[in-house]
Amino acid sequence: MNTLSKSERLDKKKIIEKMFAGGSRSFSVFPLRVVYLPVEGLETSASVLISVSKRHFKRAVKRNRVKRQIREAYRKNKHELLQVLQDKEQQLAVAFIYLSDRLVASEEIEERMKTALARIKERISV
């Protein structure tokens, strides 16, 4: 199933605050910064949050375009990560933060997303 349902989006304030207050792990795969935190009590094995800074893109149209690109890249490539999480019976909250101040081609974002997901998979498999 190649969808990104509502239950897969991170909307719990407490978890989001915990992610950015510390205790979570993060790394960068330019133009993305990935912050992830093993959690409990989510409806799905992985919930995602996508953030694009207003400082970099003043216009909502551009911010929304970048968010759409990131969502699409995640949606297409999430399966292996979800499989690993289900096998280990773990749940993960993941935030993708866009770092660049320019628009990037969807193909490049997808490549970086593959790298990022592989790196998360590697780190939770340890």
CATH number at residue 67: 3.30.230.10
Q: What angle do CA 33, 91, 2 make, to 5 degrees?
A: 75
Residue 1: the pLDDT is: 60
Is residue 1 domain-resident?
no
Number of structural domains (the chain) is 1
Is residue 46 domain-resident?
yes
pLDDT value at 126 more than 80: no
CA distance 61 to 126: 40
Amino acid, res. 60: A
pLDDT value at 125 more than 90: no
The mean pLDDT of 13-25, rounded to a whole number, is 91
pLDDT value at 54 more than 80: yes
Residue with tokens 């991170």, as numbered in its chain? 10
Q: Which domain holds residue 32?
A: 6-125
The mean pLDDT of 77-102, rounded to a whole number, is 95
pLDDT value at 2 more than 90: no
Residue 113: the pLDDT is: 97
CA distance 117 to 115: 6
pLDDT value at 22 more than 90: no
